[in-house]
Amino acid sequence: MLVGVLALQGAFAAHQRALAECGVLTRQVRVSADLDGIDALVMPGGESTTMSHLLTTSGLFDPLAERIRDGLAVFGTCAGMILLAREVLDGRPDQRSLAAIDITVRRNGYGRQVDSFEADITIDSLAAPFHAVFIRAPKVERIGPAVQVIAAHDDVPVFAREGRVFVASFHPELTPDPRLHSLFLQEV
């Protein structure tokens, strides 16, 4: 299995480490040719407006959107969640979304950098809680009917999926726990 990691900006190296712990090969994705031959893609946290701009200027946005529409499994964390959401609140007017999962998210929905926090969340398929790191995290404000909520924090969805598209409003790559990456890989 070969998993691409979007490497335009953000915590892509930490995702590569987590995926390596799961025993899979990774490839950094920076241009459309890097999508060739990958079985799945991870979209890291970072700054969503910058990542949207870089996806467009690199010529990667449209080929990536096509691959996702064709069924590419994708896991977006924090900014990756924002980029995959159908609707983004408090984004810049020129910010683009891949609209791959039927959710509405608010950028920095939990507040600014100083409002960042950590919390243990319960995920039904995991035996023990997962320690989640929320940094300027997006907040889910609407979930479409086909979206499955996998975990919530204070009754707000923080980990969800629709088909082969997974999103988390936190940063699983910033913990030493690769269980969420493993959970995603089971669906690839």
- The tens place of each residue's pLDDT in the chain, 188 residues long, gives 999 999 999 889 999 999 999 999 999 999 999 999 999 999 999 889 899 999 999 999 999 999 999 999 999 999 999 999 999 999 888 889 999 999 999 998 887 777 789 999 999 889 999 999 999 899 999 999 999 999 999 999 999 999 999 999 999 999 999 999 999 999 88
- What amino acid positions are annotated as catalytic residues? 78, 171, 173
CB 186 within 8 A of CB 161: no
Q: What count of other Cβ atoms lies within 10 Å of the Cβ of residue 131? A: 15
Find where tokens 């790191």 sit.
133
Is 3.40.50.300 the CATH number for 2-185?
Answer: no
- Torsions phi, psi for 185 (to 5 deg): -65, -25
Q: What is the pTM of this model?
A: 0.95
Residue 56 buriedness (CB in 10 A; 0-12 / 13-18 / 19+): middle
Q: Which of 10, 20, 9, 22 is nearest to 184 (CA)?
A: 22
The residues, any chain, with a CB within 8 Å of residue 43's CB and separated by 6 or more, are: 6, 51, 74, 75, 76, 77, 79, 80, 83, 84
Half-sphere exposure of 83 (CA within 13 A, CB side): 32
Check residue 146 and give its pLDDT: 98
* Domain extents in the chain: 2-185
Q: What count of other Cβ atoms lies within 10 Å of the Cβ of residue 2? A: 12
